[in-house]
Amino acid sequence: MLRLDNIRVDNGGFFLDADLGVEPGASVAVIGPSGAGKSTLLGAIAGFHPVVRGRILWGGTDITHDTPGQRPVAMLFQDGNLFPHLTVSQNVGLGIRPDLRLNVAEEDRVRDALLRVGLRTLGERKPAALSGGQQSRAALARVLVQKRPLLLLDEPFAALGPALKAEMLDLVAALAREAKATLLMVSHDPNDARRIAEQVILVAEGRAEEPAPTEELLDNPPPALRDYLG
Amino acid sequence: MAFGAQPVRTWPGLAAAALVAAVMLAALVAVALRAETGAGLGAQDWSAIRFTVLQAALSALFSVALAIPVARALARRSFPGRGLLITLLGAPFILPVIVAVLGLLTVFGRGGWLNALLGLAGLPPVSIYGLHGVVLAHVFFNLPLATRLILQGWQEIPAERFRLAAQLGAGPREIWRLLERPMLARTAPGVAALIFAICLTSFAVALTLGGGPKATTIELAIYQAFRFDFDLGRSALLALVQIVLTLAAATLALGVSARGGFGAGLDRVVQRWDARTPGLRALDAGLILAAALFLLAPLAAIAAAGLPGLLHLPEQVYMACLVSVFVAAVSTILLLCLALPIALAAARMPLVEQAGLLGLAVSPLVLGAGLFLLINPVASPFALALPVTALVNALMALPFALRILTPKAREEVDRHARLAATLNMGAWGFFRLVLLPRMRPQIGFAAGLAAALSMGDLGVIALFADPETATLPLQIYRLMAAYRMEAASGAALLLLILSVTAFWLCDRGGRHAAP
């Protein structure tokens, strides 16, 4: 269980308030107008923005002051999810050992993860030699080996076409289900939410609301969401 | 970078910067304490001060005045070899001063090419020694720098402005008034101030082409007070004067200019509609040819003069050669050990870079004199000649290395720190797996500059060396002083090859990295 206990996040002078809980294993979309604070919410959970009030709890443990690497979080950003000078296998391996000193069993785990995301033969390539979709798959393979219980997506598929994006979302949903991970993903597109999220957190006017069932919220939006959806 | 996402440690950089600042300040304090202000400045000292300022002002003036037409020609003409020529304009930076001086002597010296031509025409010979020789050598070194900087100014004029001017029917004269003169009013004073500041601390040129009461710079006077009179008090007083002058010039240069010296993107030619007349074409072609000749002739001369001597060099030259390679290697390693941590720390706290820039405010001979005064009570400075030379060379290369490394370090930290933080890479992992491989080209370039600068340096070693010790540049100077010009030219060619090779090896090593 992820609990944001009456927190206020400081993102360089922009403040976001949140007081909400996310059930373990839930898939939650974070929706709202641009600049409302969606990325700030995820950044706070991942440990990139200071929390000036309240506490962040994971399974009852206070993680408010943990460094990003200590948190139970795997995160994919809008861009820059792969190191361009390392091979795909090395990028994935970083998820197991950040110093890249992998033993044979760990190398096998990297190979399995690449197989799972459909990049079996591309491990020795550099990210630049992959298509956009393949790069997303490589990043997902790393998330897979990281085995963190909380997966945060800050629109990593925004640059992909609609069909490819849907494919990636389905893959993410499947991987999260298999790992019983909790998934939080920022989205601009209500259809993304309908596709893989049972719940939606609405972020508007500097405030993140308690998760609500997706269909209910989108079919019957409150005023702030209605303005955004148009 | 955001809270918590810090895979870069700042303390090694802060420690390195503090060390650099401490060495510089200790040397300055040593100089200040030892300076015998009671006696005041003698007539000779005043003459050195006047000469220093005069030659620096003339060097700046001629370099900029000549660079403006050359830069304009390069800015508005495209021709095969243009890129190569612009790259060559950067070469004097790594060219050892003593090599250039020998090259200039071969062309402009008493028995040189120019006097041979003048003799054929029945004209009296010219002499390269004294004020005009010093200024000539400084223009040789700084005309290319001025040309590059002013060319950059030209290329920063947006192409649309030229298009608009052409559309309005503006000719060369109107374009000069509308676009070019205002640009030059902005750039040229800064370039002149920079060259003035560089020439203020001239030592090797003054040592070889100047000298005597009429042509002694302050740096040279410090050296002479040290070596010939062993008058530490007077030499410290001169060093104090040099510090004041350097600081004043650096402040002036920073005040009138804010642009960097390593401009990229000079390979673009803006399309121009105003300069298509045959007369202007011929003028530009002539200017470019003359500039190229002025730069290449001394280099060709040293190659021609050195080749016969290269095969039977005296024994000491080979020893000095080994010493120089060793000093350059140590100096380069030292530089990287200082510059890399400082650059990483400066990526997060820009103020740290300032410590490294202290090297621009303290001249090599002043630093050398200070270190001599510090070492003298506890050990023999002559025994430490080589380590001190390596250290001073590294400190002098530091500002340039930081200019190369810091922007790249900042870019890489901004780009990858978040991802590294979520992966819990740690500072060492981030350095080893991300920064080192990503910064390899910059590290190689900085190392190449440091190696070449150290290899060719004739400064503090002259202060510290006993007769048995010499780096290759110092050995060449000694051969010159003994009028063994053929051996000196041969050794100079060897030094040129070594410097260029050292730069090339480091730079290539950086670029031929795996990614």
Q: Name the least confident of B339-343, B349-353, B377-381.
A: B349-353
In a domain, B176, yes or no: no
CA–CA separation, A55 and A35 (whole Å)? 23
Of B424, B425, B515, the CB nearest to A70: B424
Residue B327 and residue B412 in one domain: yes
Write the burial class of residue B235 (CB in 10 Å: 0-12 exposed, 13-18 middle, 19+ buried): buried
CA–CA separation, A157 and A102 (whole Å)? 29
Q: CA-nearest residue of chain A to B414?
A: A80
The winner for highest mean pLDDT among A218-222, B32-36, B60-64, B221-225 is: B60-64
Q: What local confidence, expressed as pLDDT, does residue A209 receive?
A: 92
Chain A residues lying within 8 Å of B422, measured CB to CB: 46, 68-69, 73-75
Length of chain B in residues, anyone? Answer: 515
Chain A residues lying within 8 Å of B434, measured CB to CB: 83, 85
Residue B378 and residue B345 in one domain: yes
Which contiguous run of DSSP H or E holds residue B232? helix B232-256
A156/B contact by beta carbon, under 8 A: no
A109/B contact by beta carbon, under 8 A: no
Residue A190 pLDDT class (50, 70, 90 cuts):
confident
CA–CA separation, A89 and B196 (whole Å)? 54
Question: Whole-model pTM?
Answer: 0.83
The backbone torsions φ and ψ at residue A151, rounded to the nearest 5 degrees and listed phi first, read: -110, 120
Q: How far is CA B223 from the centre of its chain?
A: 20
In a domain, B272, yes or no: no
Q: Name the least confident of A10-14, A131-135, B61-65, B464-468.
A: B464-468
Selection from B348, B418, B431, B411 nearest residue B5 by Cα: B418
Q: Name the least confident of B110-124, B161-175, B253-267.
A: B253-267
Contact B515 A84 (CB under 8 A): yes
The backbone torsions φ and ψ at residue B119, rounded to the nearest 5 degrees and listed phi first, read: -60, -40
Which contiguous run of DSSP H or E holds residue A2? strand A2-11
Examine the pLDDT at B191 and tell me if it is beyond 80: yes
A67/B contact by beta carbon, under 8 A: yes
Query: Hey, which residues does B215 pair with through a beta bridge?
Result: B211
In a domain, B144, yes or no: yes
Mutate: best of B3, B438, B440, B442, partner A, most A CBs <10 A: B3
Contact B433 A100 (CB under 8 A): yes
The angle subtended at Cα B190 by Cα B187 and Cα B191, nearest 5°, is 85
Residue B295 and residue B330 in one domain: no
Terminal CA-to-CA distance of chain A, rounded, Å? 33
The residues, ordered by sequence, that sit 6+ positions from A121 with a Cβ below 8 Å of its Cβ are none
Of A50, A85, A146, the CB nearest to B438: A85
Q: CA-nearest residue of chain B to A72?
A: B422
CA distances, B111 to each of B79, B125, B127, B206 (Å) = 35, 9, 10, 20
Chain A residues lying within 8 Å of B416, measured CB to CB: 80, 83
Chain A residues lying within 8 Å of B428, measured CB to CB: 99
Residue B289 and residue B195 in one domain: yes
What's the rounded mean pLDDT across residues B200-208? 92
Q: Name the least confident of A97-106, A162-171, B262-271, B408-417.
A: B262-271
Q: What local confidence, expressed as pLDDT, does residue A125 receive?
A: 94
Q: CA-nearest residue of chain B to A77?
A: B419
Chain B residues lying within 8 Å of A77, measured CB to CB: 418-419
B511/A contact by beta carbon, under 8 A: no
What's the rounded mean pLDDT across residues B292-314? 89
Q: CA-nearest residue of chain B to A94?
A: B423
Q: How many C-beta atoms surround the C-beta of residue A132 within 10 A?
A: 14
Chain B residues lying within 8 Å of A99, measured CB to CB: 425-426, 428-429, 432-433
DSSP labels, B454-502: HHH--SHHHHH--TT---HHHHHHHHHHTT-HHHHHHHHHHHHHHHHHH
Q: What local confidence, expressed as pLDDT, does residue B268 receive?
A: 61
Q: What local confidence, expressed as pLDDT, does residue B173 receive?
A: 82
Residue B59 and residue B134 in one domain: yes
Contact A99 B433 (CB under 8 A): yes
Q: Which position has the token pair 């393949």?
A: A134
CA–CA separation, A99 and B433 (whole Å)? 8
Size of interface A-B (CB pairs under 8 A): 73
The total number of structural domains that make up chain B? 2
Burial A51-64 (b: 16+ CB within 10 A, else e): beebebbbeeeebb
Residue B296 and residue B324 in one domain: no
Q: CA-nearest residue of chain B to A86?
A: B515
In a domain, B158, yes or no: no
Instruction: Please count the CA atoms within 13 angstroms of the CA of B284 that sit on its side-chain side.
Output: 17
Q: What local confidence, expressed as pLDDT, does residue B266 receive?
A: 59
DSSP labels, A56-123: EEETTEE-TT--GGGSSEEEE-SS--S-TTS-HHHHHHTTT-TT----HHHHHHHHHHHHHTT-GGGT
The residues, ordered by sequence, that sit 6+ positions from B101 with a Cβ below 8 Å of its Cβ are B137, B204, B205, B208, B209
Q: What local confidence, expressed as pLDDT, does residue B261 receive?
A: 40
Examine the pLDDT at B258 and tell me if it is beyond 60: no
Residue B282 and residue B331 in one domain: no
CA distance A170 to chain B (A): 24
Residue B333 and residue B443 in one domain: yes
Instruction: Return the CA Rg of chain A.
Output: 18
Contact B418 A48 (CB under 8 A): yes
Chain A residues lying within 8 Å of B515, measured CB to CB: 84-85, 126
Of A48, A74, A100, the CB nearest to B3: A48
B423/A contact by beta carbon, under 8 A: yes
B434/A contact by beta carbon, under 8 A: yes
CATH code at B294? 1.10.3720.10
Q: CA-nearest residue of chain B to A75?
A: B422
Chain B residues lying within 8 Å of A95, measured CB to CB: 423
A127/B contact by beta carbon, under 8 A: no
In a domain, B163, yes or no: no
Chain A residues lying within 8 Å of B426, measured CB to CB: 69, 98-99
Residue B145 and residue B196 in one domain: yes
Q: How far is CA A221 from the centre of its chain?
A: 24
Contact A47 B4 (CB under 8 A): yes
**Which residue did the predictor score with more confidence, B34 or B327?**
B327
What's the rounded mean pLDDT across residues A197-224? 91
Please, where are the H alpha helices in chain A?
A: 38-46, 88-93, 104-116, 132-146, 162-179, 190-196, 214-219, 223-229
Chain A residues lying within 8 Å of B419, measured CB to CB: 77, 80-81, 83
Which contiguous run of DSSP H or E holds residue B262? none
Strands (E), B91-207: none
Chain A residues lying within 8 Å of B437, measured CB to CB: 85
Write the burial class of residue B509 (CB in 10 Å: 0-12 exposed, 13-18 middle, 19+ buried): middle
The backbone torsions φ and ψ at residue B276, rounded to the nearest 5 degrees and listed phi first, read: -95, 5
Of A74, A85, A86, the CB nearest to B422: A74
**Which residue did the predictor score with more confidence, B174 or B207?**
B207
Selection from B183, B158, B156, B178 nearest residue B168 by Cα: B178
Residue B326 and residue B442 in one domain: yes
CB distance B391 to B47 below 8 Å:
no
Which contiguous run of DSSP H or E holds residue B134? helix B131-155
Residue B289 and residue B316 in one domain: no
The residues, ordered by sequence, that sit 6+ positions from B251 with a Cβ below 8 Å of its Cβ are none
Give percent of chain B with pLDDT exceeding 90: 46
**Per residue in B1-21, pLDDT tens?**
344 446 888 899 999 999 999
Q: Please give the residue range of the domain that contains residue B210.
A: 53-75+82-153+187-263+278-304
What's the rounded mean pLDDT across residues B288-299? 92
**Per residue in B430-445, pLDDT tens?**
999 999 999 999 999 9
Q: CA-nearest residue of chain B to A49?
A: B3
Query: Hey, which residues does A203 pair with through a beta bridge?
Result: A208
A83/B contact by beta carbon, under 8 A: yes
Selection from A34, A32, A43 nearest residue A9 by Cα: A43
Q: What is the DSSP letter of B265?
A: -
For residues B339, B341, B342, B347, the Cα torsion angle rounded to the nearest 10 degrees is 120
In a domain, B180, yes or no: no
What's the rounded mean pLDDT across residues B385-404? 93
Residue B422 and residue B349 in one domain: yes
Q: Supply A33's token pair.
A: 């107008």
Contact B421 A81 (CB under 8 A): no
In a domain, B179, yes or no: no
Chain B residues lying within 8 Å of A70, measured CB to CB: 424
Chain A residues lying within 8 Å of B424, measured CB to CB: 67-70, 98
Mutate: best of B6, B415, B422, partner A, most A CBs <10 A: B422
